[in-house]
Structure formats: structure tokens, C-alpha cells
Structure 1
């Protein structure tokens, strides 16, 4: 069985990358830091591009594609650090008016946390008594819902989060390699030093391992495969951004750099859907079953 992308899938991925490069570039990203406000114009443009209605049947006004294609566009969203409750709105496209077209923003209570609650037009779950948190990610406002009942994670939400984490892991690897090629110490690029080579190589291995798992899970849609993909993608994103920061040194923490923003987003995403614990329990039950 071949898992190479088709021409149509590559075109979809490239088209989403071009859209985000045009509408959500580095300048736009930096401008949003510290004062996160959802860009409704961009949200509607994503809707027009089919981001939210990608898996809806064409008869219902959707694009009529499947989970593998959704994974590709969410990977690009993670790579670009796109802001907003993307997963929640995508999942609500079938039954919340306006969600499919980007006219409505949907937030979701997930493990007692809600992302982008203040910007949401519709909230899935009981957000009564939600209190704002000081989010580690300056581009993801958070609320906590005290006493929220535990809800089993939606496998599709878990997989799409894994796809976003894969995008972050890929971008972290790219940023590290770019810096290692251009930054010089002792008269040569720092990428010539063995320790830096090892960091970059390990980032690439983790990212590509996660990619294989995420793409395979998108094809099988098996909850166990999705749990494995989530664990690998979380590790690739969290460890990859940490190693990318190591390659950059102190400048990785500056506001001019994106490295620390990718790291903080990876930390926040890793808490969705019960975090690693739920995926570990799913795999453990399968192994012991």
C-alpha cells in the first residue's frame, strides 16, 4: 500500500499554505501577540476556501473530502501558527449554522478548558462559571470551567490536534535548520558542530515518524491508531520546539522570533482532549485487551 499524496492532495496542501502565507504571515502573527483578537475576515476566507466544510458532503454544501485531506490542511494551520478554535468550528460544520462558511465561531469545553470563549458565537458544552486564565500562549486565550464533567475525547478532534502538532514539529525543524545554516560562531555556521547536527537530525526523525503515524491514522480512522499518532505528534512538537530553541539560543525567546510561540502553542495543544493520559490509556487497553 502506498501512502504518497495524490496530485489533488498536494494541490490542497499547497493552496492552504499559499492562503496562510498571504493572509497570516509573520507580521500579522507578531501584531496579534499580546492582544489576541480573532480576524473575522480571515475566518470567513477560511470558510470560503472550504477549511471548515472540507468533510461535509457536497449535497450539504461541503467539499466532500475525507479525514486525510482534513489532516493536511490542519497540518498547514499548525505550521503557520494559525489562531482560533479551528478544531471546534470544523467539527461543528454539520450542525451549527454558519460554522461551515466561517460566519460563526464555535468554541468547545474540552477537559474543563475552553479556547477562545470570548470570541465564540456558539459554545459546545456547559461553560457556566468559566473563569479566564493567564495562558502560557499569548495567542490562545483560555478559560477554565470549574467542576466540568469529564467527557470522552472525540477521536477526530484528537487526530486534528495531532495534525496541528505535526505542523508545528515540521516548522520547528525548518527554523532550526535555517538558523544552523546562517548563524556563525568561530568562523563557521553552527550547523557544522556535531551537537547541533544531532539536534536537527533528531527533530527530523521525530517529525517524520509522527507524520507517518498521523497520515496512517487518517486513513484507518482507528481510535488506537489515532491515540498512537497523538502521542508521537505531541512528542515531536514539544521536544522539537524545545530543541529548536536550543539551536537558536537566547534569541529564540525574543519577540522577533517565532520559536517560543511554537513551543507555547505546542504546550497548550498537548492539554486538549485529556492530554497524553487519554491516549496512553487507549493504547494500554488495546495492548492488555
Structure 2
């Protein structure tokens, strides 16, 4: 299996990098961090209209390019490098994947063209106060009355939840099953509050539902099967973004080690710094291999995808945190200042480590998925 991007995918990556260099420099990232929505709607539409980035994985019949997870992963590496303030992970990965993997053709026809063009922003609301990423963490209730559904409860840590036009909400039904429901962002009874978080470049929100009208998304079997599949694919996508974050942090550290002089020579000439950077390079390249393998598994609907997704998410989370932390170590005192961007990469790394489950959670999942827990229980 060839883990490398093809020539066309490399060209896509170069195009995205050049676009983000012009539209998402550090100054723009810092400006958007302070805005109410946390991203630029006009730029979001440009990304969809000019480059077609939001529609890469959307079939042509719904207004997309008909590509797949590998192309989306190439884009995510670059958005991670630039710390792009935009709902790409929430709308293009979480929401779009949920619709594509559902059994609801009507919802796909109605929503996917707007998501692909950038006219709409959507997200998936799953976690609650327990911060669990499994079915047991779903307490928000869905009640059917007179042929319509009403949702009551709350969700928290919802990516771009305050700005989304459409909120795909995971809820528990009266028969104790799990369903996914389409909710308009301005629906009656829905209140949204932006949460203060460690990472100011990626917004999260608390959503309160008070008898909110909703439309149930048709699924193949129980709704949790769909959510679990989406979470695996989202973990793979996030792993690709983490590679981009880690790669940029390594580049920053190497660049600084070349120009910062101490005792009359660049600090990069000292053996301790060389070893530190070599260790980070090994972690970053290993993470890139893990992420690319997982993207290919998602592309090919490989039955090993659940295990591979957990492996990639756990490894890339650790590698990203190490790279961004060591970047600050190499920079020394200046790396701790607000004016330097190093802390923004560390904050993205730390919050991404927890998103969709932390490394310990995914290592436990990996053990279950490859049968190691059964082997240990038999010993």
C-alpha cells in the first residue's frame, strides 16, 4: 500500500497552502480569534466557490467533486499548519460525513449542495456534561408527538455550534434507541452559547434544547451505528490535521534553531538540540504514516478502519503535543509570550488531543477492536 499522496493530491495541497498563506496569515488568525463567530463567512464561501474544498468528498450529483477522505486529509494537513479559523472539521467532516453515510436521500439532496458550496455551515452535536464519546453519554431526549419530533436537553463542547446553520443532534428516543436529528440553527427553543476554551482558534458551544422541533435522519439500523462510523472517520480526519499542526511546529523550531545564537554559534549546532529535533522529526513522520494509512483505510472502506482510526488518533495526538511542546522548549522564553504563535499551536494540540477521545480512550478502543481485551481476560 502506497502511503504517499499522488501528484494530483500534492498539487491540491500546494494550492491550499498558497491560498492559506494569502488568506490566513497569523495576523488574520489573531483577528478572527476575537470575532463573535470565530471565522470569516466570506472566506468560507470563497473556499467552497473558488477551490471547492468543502465539496471534495461530496458526490458530483450533490454539487461536489466526488473525491474522498484522502483529498480531505490533504486539505486538513494544510489547515492545521495555518491554524485556519473555519468550521472545516465540523461542517465538512462531521456533518457532511453524517449525511453521506446515512440512509436519508432527501436530506442529502436538500443539504449537501449548500454545504459543498460554503453557503451553509453544519455541525454534529454529541457530547454532554459527561464528555463521553459513546452511546452511554447521550441523555438528550427526542419525543415524538403528532408525527413530529421535539428535543429536550443540552449538548456541550459542540464544534462551531454557535454559528452553524444546521445542527445534526444525537438524541435518545423513548425506546432507548439513538437517533440523529436535523435541527435548524435558529429553531424555536434552541439557545446557543459560545464556551471559553483553551484554543481560541476553534470555537465550541453549549446548546440548550427546549422542545426544539427536529427532523429525524433516516439511518441504516440504529442511529448509534451511524454516529460510531462518523466518529471513526472524524478521528482519522483530525489525525491528518494534527500532522499539519505538528509539522509546522517542527518547522518553526528548526528555523529558530538556525538563527538563534548562543555562545557564538546557532543553538541548532548543539547536540542536545539536534537530538531533541531529531526525536520530534521521527514522531512527526511516524504520525504522518499513521494518518495516511488511516485515510486510505477510510477511502477504501477497509473493515480494519475502526482499529486503524483509534491507532492513528492516539499516535497523532501524542506526536502533535510533543512537537508543539518541544517547539516552545527550543524557543525558550519568547515561546511563552502571547505575541509569539508557538502557544497557539500548543493549545490546538492539547484540545485536539481530547477531541473525539483522548489517547488513553483510543488505546482502550484499539485493544477491544483487535481482541486484546478478550485475550487478557482469558489469561
TM-score by length of 1: 0.91
What is the number of equivalent residue pairs in this alignment? Answer: 287
Distance 1:116 1:223, change over 3 A: same
Using CA pairs under 8 Å that are at least 6 residues apart, name the structure with larger relative contact order, 1 or 2: 1
Contact 1:133 1:143 in 2 (8 A): yes
Could you tell me how far 1:76 is from its partner in structure 2?
Answer: 0.8
Gaps of 5+ in 2: 101-107, 129-156, 171-182, 184-189, 210-223, 299-304, 375-379
Unaligned residue ranges in structure 1 (runs of 5+): none
- Give the match for residue 237 of structure 1: 320
Is 1:115 matched up with 2:159?
A: yes
Q: 1:33 to 1:90 in 2, by over 3 A?
A: closer
2:197 and 2:257 mapped to 1: Cα distance?
30
TM-score by length of 2: 0.71
SS at 1:108 equivalent? strand
Matched with 2:218 is none
Higher strand share: 2
Aligned residue runs from structure 1 range 141-160, under 5 A: 141-144=203-206, 152=228, 154-160=231-237
The aligned residue for residue 125 of structure 1 is: 169
CA RMSD of aligned residues (A): 2.2
Query: Conserved in 1, the CA contact under 8 Å of 2:32 and 2:40?
Result: no
CA distances 1:11-56 after superposition (whole Å, capped 9, x unpaired): 1111111111111112212323444632001111111212111111
Give the distance between the partners of 2:166 and 2:312, measured in 1 at CA. Answer: 29
| Residue in structure 2 matched with residue 265 of structure 1 by the alignment | 348
* Contact kept? 1:44, 1:102, Cα under 8 Å: yes
Cα pair 2:237 2:295 within 8 Å, conserved: no
**CA spacing shift, 1:201–1:146, aligned 2, 3 Å:** farther
Q: Does 1:89 align with 2:91?
A: yes
Distance 1:2 1:88 in 2: 28
Work out which of the two has the higher radius of gyration on C-alpha atoms and give 1 or 2: 2
Superposed CA offset, 1:103-127 (max 9, x none): 1111322433112222221122169
* Range moving further from structure 2, 47-56 or 138-147: 138-147
Q: Tell me the CA shift for residue 185 of structure 1.
A: 1.0
Q: Does the 8 Å CA contact 2:314/2:360 hold for their aligned counterparts? A: no
**Is the Cα–Cα contact under 8 Å of residues 55 and 62 in structure 1 kept in the other structure?**
yes
